[in-house]
Amino acid sequence: MAKQNKNDAPDGSGANHASSSIDDLLLAALARGDESGDTGRYLITFKDGAGEDGLNSLRTQGLRVADARDFNDQAVAFDSLGDADTVLFPEIGVALVGGDAAQARSMGAAADIAADSPIESIDAERFVFAEALYNNYLRGTAQVQELDGFGPATAESPTGEYLRGFLRAAELIAKELGHAPNGGSQQELDLQEEIMVLGATWGLTACKVPSSVRSAAGIRIAVLDTGMDLGHPDFAGRPIVGATFVGQPVQDLHGHGTHCIGTACGPKAPAGATPRYGIGYRSSVYSGKVLSNSGSGSTASVLAGMNWAIANRCQVISMSLGGPGGPQPAYTAAGQAALNNGLLMIAAAGNPGAGAPAGAPANSPTIMSVASLDTNLAPSSYSPTGKIDIAAPGRDVFSAWPRPTRYKTISGTSMAAPHVAGCAALWAESAANLRGLALWRKLLATARRLPYPVVRVGAGLVQAP
């Protein structure tokens, strides 16, 4: 298909085509003064098993349809959609429709849907951000800006931050054994020596990763985020499959995606004195760039990544991103499609603070929602309340970062989700029947119970096999 001509109105009001870039959508929203979080496009979710009928119904309405199956490995390139009005994501039974095309056919969110229609719902598409940026978009507070490492730089080095978190974790473990932090008992000293010998981050130690014999060999982990530093030395020789859904190279110029991939898939023994920070060190890495280098995306870019990860049968799909609103039908359908194919979607619950609900897509019933824990294994102050399935280390998490920095310590539920994804991959390697819903149940059943409400920590702290 030929690329679309740039004929949008000067104010950006027409920048709501299926092929519009994230930047164009954001600029158009600003131009029209729209603070709703809507992009101006629409998502059509089809009834279970009605995807082909839905595709035909779109065509009968005169819509020009692009199909993800027309792209290699279903990696949709939005800037190559040409004059298509809509793009179908067949693995999840969802279609994106440009705003003008939808409204011309009365297909807005308020449209009446016939009982015999293959369509389940029509919803406004929304913007999606890396978790901290989403909270900045909503609130713009300095406290939130410091989460996930997007705030002002500090004089303290990443190594210093890691050590601070490590020492707090060591003190906690000692307290749990009934010793004072500075008690110096032989049992405490032996334990601290064991931790130092293992040389792992406090998060991996809390999840019992160093003692696990599993490596996630044969398991595909998809991380849908800002991409990855494909030349990071800690991943030299590792095959990495990348795809972009935001019109930018997979190469990560932001950092968030590299950090999350580092936790879920990083090496067992990084060079030099660098502590072990990665869990599934023999996993196959699938990096889906669904957020731009500015950390922004849309529901459609995330859905395109989900569709791609399912088409590639990635057993574990990790997402540290969020957007406004309650559970969204398209995300719920994607999560169900993953489970139907023996795959598991895991998402960060968001950083709105205690008392506020989890964001989308984590709030979907078919996607595992992950809360953040501090080094004392208490819920982090920024972690939400409500639909929480499990918890993991999220405060002061040391992991990979794009060169030349190489490593960074940051905080957020974004950092907790890849801990769960990595542990899920270890469990998936341990038994061929631990797939999809069975894997979900195993993670909950083996989690370490914590003395906090289920609405804050779910089943508890994720544990490796």
Q: Which residues are catalytically annotated?
A: 225, 256, 414
For residues 269-301, one letter each, b for 16 or more C-beta atoms within 10 angstroms of the residue's C-beta and e for the rest, the string is: ebeeebbbbbbbbbbbbbbbbbbbbbbbbbbbb
Strand partners, 319: 224, 347
Determine the Cα–Cα distance for residues 156 and 195; give it in Å rounded to an integer.
23
Burial 252-264, CB ≥16 within 10 A → b, else e: bebbbbbbbbbbb
Phi/psi of residue 428, nearest 5 degrees: -65, -35
* E strand intervals along 320-396: 321-322, 344-348, 368-373, 390-393
Specify burial of residue 105 (Cβ count, 10 A radius: 0-12, 13-18, 19+).
middle
Alpha-carbon span 435 to 425, nearest angstrom: 10
Tell me whether the omega of the peptide bond preceding residue 418 falls within 30 degrees of 0, making it cis: no
Residue 116's contacts (CB-CB under 8 Å, 6 or more residues apart) are none
Query: What span, in angstroms and rounded, lies between the C-alpha atoms of 214 and 45?
Result: 38
- Asked if 344 contacts 149 with a C-beta cutoff of 8 angstroms, the reply is no
* Pair type for strands 240-244 and 407-410: unpaired
Determine the Cα–Cα distance for residues 211 and 189; give it in Å rounded to an integer. 19
Half-sphere exposure of 107 (CA within 13 A, CB side): 29
Residue labelled with tokens 């991409």: 227
Tell the residue number behind the tokens 């299926």, with chain if given.
18
Which regions of 204-315 does DSSP assign to beta strands (E)? 220-225, 240-244, 284-289, 296-298
Cβ-contact 426, 212 below 8 angstroms: yes
Gyration radius of the chain's alpha carbons: 22
